[in-house]
Amino acid sequence: MKRVDLFAVIHKALRLQSARVVGALANCAGDLEATGRALRESRELLEMQIVHARVEETFVVAAIEARRPGAASRLTEAHEEHAVMIERLRTQIDEVERHATPARVHALYLEMTRFIADDFLHMFEEETLAQPLLEECYSQPELAAIAARARESVTPAEERLFAPLVLASLSTAEREVPGSIGKTR
Ligand SMILES: [Fe+2]
């Protein structure tokens, strides 16, 4: 049985969408169509982040806390901070949508890349600290059951948001792993 990694697949999709947002916001100022696209990509990333944080809190953080009380408090803190940042970013996106001056687009680019930088560090922490901790606390079949419950909790609409990015960010070998692209496998 392949080692169950609760973060690897979904974090690759989040990193890919983050990279798309950075690229789209970087050069869209002055071009209404490109700005519209960049705002759509940005909203999509934030939507994915909300779903992802909910799933992690409900299944991953809960699993850590069940066996190591207090050990996931840093993760929860980060998720809460991110929720505040996401709400601010959504407001900022709405403002750019109403009036897309180059200054506003640039301000959004800065705030969005700050959020993404913070999130990249957060994902690194989850992959290098939380994952080994989960492996210490749970057997591989137990981790597979947690991953399955997490996948089952995702609605079809949420699944559609992630599926193309998961597909685009996985290597051919990774795509062969059952469950790696959600309920469709
Ligand atoms: Fe995560």
pLDDT digits (tens, 9 = 90+) for 119-158: 999 999 999 999 999 999 999 999 999 999 999 999 999 9
- How distant, in Å, are the alpha carbons of 61, 76, 93, 108 from that of 26? 34, 31, 14, 10
Residue with tokens 């209404």: 32
Kindly give the distance from the C-alpha atom of residue 10 to the centroid of ligand 1, in angstroms, as a whole number: 8
Compute the distance between CA of residue 45 and CA of residue 82 in angstroms, rounded to an integer.
12
Question: Quick check: helix, strand or coil at residue 163?
Answer: helix
pLDDT digits (tens, 9 = 90+) for 69-85: 999 999 999 999 999 99
- The dihedral formed by the CA atoms of 122, 4, 45 and 150, expressed in degrees to the nearest 10: -110
Kindly give the distance from the C-alpha atom of residue 25 to the centroid of ligand 1, in angstroms, as a whole number: 23
Kindly give the distance from the C-alpha atom of residue 35 to the centroid of ligand 1, in angstroms, as a whole number: 28
Kindly give the distance from the C-alpha atom of residue 65 to the centroid of ligand 1, in angstroms, as a whole number: 16
